[in-house]
Amino acid sequence: MTELLETIFGELGIAQYLDAFLEQGFDTWETILDITESDLDALGVKLGHRRKLQRRIANFRGVAPDASLVSPTQSNAEEVKFQDAVKTESPTPGGRGAITVVVTKRKYRRHPKPDENAPERPPSAYVLFSNKMREELKGRNLSFAEIAKLVGVNWQNLTAAEKEPFESQAQAIKDKYLSDLAVYKQTPEYRKYQAYLKEFKAKHGSPSQVYHTPGSLLAHQTPNHHQYQHHGASAHHVKQTFPTHAPPAPGPPPESPQQGRQNASLDGMSALLKAGEIVDRSMQ
């Protein structure tokens, strides 16, 4: 499955993020389908790059290419509605407050089994290029993520003429796949699988809107460290409280010009009275 992610990330030009995704448990396409804006923030994905990934996810779910993107944190009536974090402030003794972050678990979503009898999907031009480059990089003791980054960068730097052989080969393989698929659709195996999909949809919802639950990556930053929380299908509520200082008590309101003059006049009268008392005592 990591090869599939390498392909997708490379085609989108975001291969530099693959290592971070794999490290945080987003190691399959199914886990990425439910990725949220909070997850992308924690992973440090730039806005333009995340829009590319969100568009690919939307297209995979059956959204028209020209339709406006909806943030993964939003959902329609058929999707699971959840709140990643709810922040509330409550008073504590001593005039201080506390910000409580409640992280909710995500509901597990089932997926239909793949059709094992269907023709194998054709590789893209990028996959063909990736396979070729991987052969050339053998023996260099590079990690999977390092190879993925190199492949992605080199693919992006190819000219249209340099990509043309891979695209032509990919198109030829795709044409054969479509021909084989047309033949397969006339078989009992295909009809049996379609019946299974229909039953699955009635029981669990539309396959195009059924997703696997990823490890929820929610980052909470404290003054001393950055913490990542993962929540799977059996995740429970995690409650964290961070103390905060209450705002300082408000001081006295500023004086108006009229009040200032009145106060100055009173101060002057007090000084004169005090001076008169001193003179009286000296004369006695």
Does the pLDDT of residue 145 top 70, yes or no? yes
Mean pLDDT of 199-205: 85
What is the pLDDT at residue 107? 56
Domain boundaries, position 8:
1-61
Q: What does the pLDDT look like over 81-119, one tens digit per residue?
A: 444 444 444 455 555 555 444 444 555 567 788 899 999
Residue 96 maps to a domain: no
Mean pLDDT of 194-208: 81
Residue 109 maps to a domain: no
Domain count, the chain: 2
Portion of the chain with pLDDT greater than 70, in percent: 57
Q: Which residue has the higher pLDDT, 131 or 144?
A: 131
Does the pLDDT of residue 271 top 90, yes or no? no
Residue 111 maps to a domain: no
Give the residue from 176, 203, 230 where a domain finishes: 203
Residue 214 maps to a domain: no
Q: Which residue has the higher pLDDT, 173 or 225?
A: 173
**Highest mean pLDDT out of 186-195, 225-234, 264-273:** 186-195
Domain holding 29: CATH number? 1.10.150.50
Give the residue from 153, 187, 203 where a domain finishes: 203
Domain holding 183: CATH number? 1.10.30
Give the residue from 169, 203, 237 where a domain finishes: 203
Residue 260 maps to a domain: no
Residue 35 maps to a domain: yes
What is the pLDDT at residue 118? 92
Q: Which residue has the tokens 């990509």?
A: 163
Mean pLDDT of 52-70: 80
Residue 106 maps to a domain: no
**pLDDT interval class at 219 (50, 70, 90):** very low
- Contact present, 41 and 84 (Cβ < 8 Å): no
Mean pLDDT of 256-268: 52
DSSP class per residue in the chain: -HHHHHHHHHHHT-GGGHHHHHHTT--SHHHHTT--HHHHHHHT--HHHHHHHHHHHHHHTT--TTSPP--TT---TTSPP--SEEEEEEEETTTEEEEEEEEPPPPP---PPP-TTSPPPPPPHHHHHHHHHHHHTTTS---HHHHHHHHHHHHHH--HHHHHHHHHHHHHHHHHHHHHHHHHTTSHHHHHHHHHHHHHHHHH--GGG--PPPPP-EEEE-SS-EEEE---TT---EEEEEEEPPPPPP-PPPPPHHHHHHHHHHHHHHHHHHHHHHHHHHH-
